[in-house]
Amino acid sequence: MVSRPSAVAERWGHPASDDADDQAAFALGRLLVDDGAAPLALDGDIPTLLERLPLSEGVPTPLWALDEPETLSHMHQLMHDAGSDVAIALSGHVTADELDELGVGVSPAGVTRAAVRCALSCGPRLVLGEVDPCGAITHVRAKRAYLEPVRALMDGGVHGFLLGHMPSSADAIAAASAIPMGVRPVIACLETDPSLRIPSGEPLDEAFSSLAEAGMDAVGVDGITVADIPLVIDSVVEAAASVGLRLMARVPAGEADASALEGLYDEAAHVLAASGCALMCAGAGAPLGATSSMAASALEV
């Protein structure tokens, strides 16, 4: 049994209210403090699936929820049908500055609420709102950038926050400054290569320690390819456990041959589930069947 930060365990000791969203957030929080809980499978790589659609060229990823909500909702439904327990709202890169660069004249709140509606449309067990890095690594700048999307995610009904693709613990902590801690679980997911390096150069165990001290409810890695997961995941789980937190793994296809991906994802999913990973999903370049592999392995635990 790992030594859990007392604040995390106490945070999810009881639901905030009888509200259905608060109850769902509590269930997610309890999963993240229960080392014996079976893992959950999350939505896989929806952005790549969207990019492969005919006539998708020119549609920026953040705008699918506004421009093509039926298509995005269908993608969430495909993930749900494949066994995903947790929908991930397509809510990354929707700060005011990022949307201004696209020249589309829409608000972060409008895009974000639309993304949550699409994620909820398939009737998932839980929904995470994703917050991706925008380059604001001071708390003041980050809070200013993220506050409107975070409020819209809360208003829309998400049950937790995924700080995705973070290049450093500092970026994740800055992004989290806009989130009311203790109201919804927060999972900080760092970009990590197969050698367990992150872009900032921090050792992974030190980055995890910083995230734990900042009050994150779980830590994660994104970038260890499907072929490398069986080789390194025990070390990653150990690094998370050393700071008392459970792990999320988002697993990209990497350069594996397409014909080998089904078998590789089957193996990786089995290894992740057996390792004690709390949350797992297929990452960039993964086929839809990878989500089925994750879901099937979760059920075996």
C-alpha distance from residue 26 to each of 22, 34, 134, 190, 208 (Å): 6, 12, 29, 24, 23
Q: How many domains does the chain have?
A: 1
Which residues form the domain of 96? 21-195+204-300
Q: What is the pLDDT, as a whole number, of residue 1?
A: 45
Q: What is the pLDDT, as a whole number, of residue 129?
A: 98
Helical packing angle, 108-120 and 139-156, nearest 10°:
40
Domain contains 46: yes
Task: Return the half-sphere exposure (C-beta side, CA atoms, 13 A cut-off) of residue 108.
Answer: 22
Task: Return the half-sphere exposure (C-beta side, CA atoms, 13 A cut-off) of residue 29.
Answer: 25
Q: What is the pLDDT, as a whole number, of residue 114?
A: 97
Residue 176, both tokens: 């989290």
Domain contains 15: no
Which alpha helices (DSSP H) does the chain contain, by range?
6-11, 20-33, 46-51, 64-67, 69-81, 96-102, 108-120, 139-156, 169-176, 204-213, 229-242, 261-275, 288-300
Domain contains 280: yes
Domain contains 4: no
Domain contains 5: no
Q: What is the CATH number of the domain that holds 151?
A: 3.20.20.330
Amino acid at position 152, single letter:
A
Domain contains 7: no
Q: What is the pLDDT, as a whole number, of residue 14?
A: 84
Q: What is the pLDDT along the chain (301 residues), one digit of tens a residue?
A: 455 555 677 788 788 889 999 999 999 999 999 888 999 999 999 998 998 898 777 788 889 999 999 999 999 999 999 999 999 999 999 989 888 888 888 999 999 999 999 999 999 999 999 999 887 667 788 888 899 999 999 999 999 999 999 999 999 999 999 999 889 999 999 999 999 999 999 999 999 999 999 999 999 999 999 999 999 999 999 999 999 999 999 999 999 999 999 999 999 999 999 999 999 999 999 999 999 999 999 988 7
Q: What is the pLDDT, as a whole number, of residue 3?
A: 53
Domain contains 214: yes
Domain contains 124: yes
The pTM (predicted TM-score) of the whole model is: 0.94
